[in-house]
Structure 1
Amino acid sequence: MAASLTINGKTHQLDLPDDVPLLWVLRDAVGLTGTKFGCGVAACGACTVHIDGAAVRSCQVALGDVWGDVTTIEGVGTPDNLAVIQQAWVVHQVAQCGYCQSGQIMQAAALLSETPDPSDDEIDEAMAGNLCRCGTYPRIRAAIRSAADKMKEA
């Protein structure tokens, strides 16, 4: 099946079955490997991307069900121009092993776009579906609070 998909602002023509999970479209067909496979059942959040700004688990969205533009971690910032949330991640030294971090950042970015000044409870609720084996949850919360404060200044 032929599909047209806009990923990080670039249109891709894909000749794939409609039931292929978006995760594998991104990683295997398009070559964007920042989105990680974690569990395959939407329980860990490692594969989180945005579709029209909403955080979704790409392992559970079929290519034929994608309803809008897709943004991956590669579309959030660049090594030379990190997004505010990515800068906060660096400042607070959130990543340890780093495997879950692209999903964590994508979930946090969606939270901040919907709730610019989240409470700790709102952060915890929004991030609850993103697991970190290293246990950097206090740093994640601190980075989100820091990014929210910096975004208010802009």
Structure 2
Amino acid sequence: MKLTVDGTAHEVDVEEDMPLLWVLRDELGYKGVKYGCGVAQCGACTVHLDGVAVRSCQTWAADAEGAEVTTIEGLGTPDALHAVQEAWITHQVAQCGYCQAGQMMQAAALLAETPAPTDADIDEAMSGNLCRCGTYPRIRAAVKTAAANLSEV
């Protein structure tokens, strides 16, 4: 199976129904994608599939063939962070940090679709991403900052 992850082509020998999460983590070494619940309820495993946020624990490897998969590692680079990553740092969103890759991927997908989200838009889009540390007010603030920074570009 051929997958393109963060702009790099990969060939993997996996079952078609293997969860994309495990292909990314175990077969290809993308450790930013986290296992949280395995049933698409927490959002820790969120990646983009052709720009759309999906839960990689419930997306089959075959679903990603021919698509562009973007992980947190490909959202930005250390020298050129994505606006969402910069905002997360500015607002010191992460506490334990476990859910934050999924949170940022969900936020980036939201901003690509809704460049100037309202609080209700943010709350709705982010409602499937759980943070056990309860940093939701900082997450919302970071999304707003990222939106403002993206609108200046």
Task: Give the TM-score band, short-chain normalised.
Answer: over 0.9
The residue number in structure 2 matching 1:106 is 105
1:19-47 CA distance string (max 9 Å, x none): 11000000000000000000000000000
* Code of the aligned partner of 1:29: E
Q: Between Structure 1 and Structure 2, how many residues are aligned? A: 152
Deviation of the 1:82 alpha carbon:
1.1
- Aligned counterpart for 2:39 among listed residues 31, 41, 59: 41
Calculate the TM-score normalised by the size of structure 1. Answer: 0.97
Runs (4+) of structure 1 moved beyond 4 Å? Answer: none
- Aligned counterpart for 1:27 among listed residues 25, 28, 34: 25
1:47-66 alignment runs, 5 A limit = 47-66=45-64
Deviation of the 1:81 alpha carbon:
1.9
* Code of the aligned partner of 1:56: V
* Code of the aligned partner of 2:40: A
Unaligned runs of 5+ in 1: none
The residue number in structure 2 matching 1:75 is 74
What is the Cα-based RMSD across aligned positions, in Å? 0.7
Deviation of the 1:77 alpha carbon:
1.1
* Partner SS for 2:123: helix
How far apart are the structure 1 equivalents of 2:76 and 2:52?
Answer: 17
The residue number in structure 2 matching 1:145 is 144
1:4-31 CA distance string (max 9 Å, x none): 0000000000111111100000000000
The residue number in structure 2 matching 1:7 is 5
The residue number in structure 2 matching 1:97 is 96
Q: Structure 1 stretch 78-87 or stretch 142-151: which is displaced more? A: 78-87
The residue number in structure 1 matching 2:124 is 125
* Code of the aligned partner of 1:96: Q
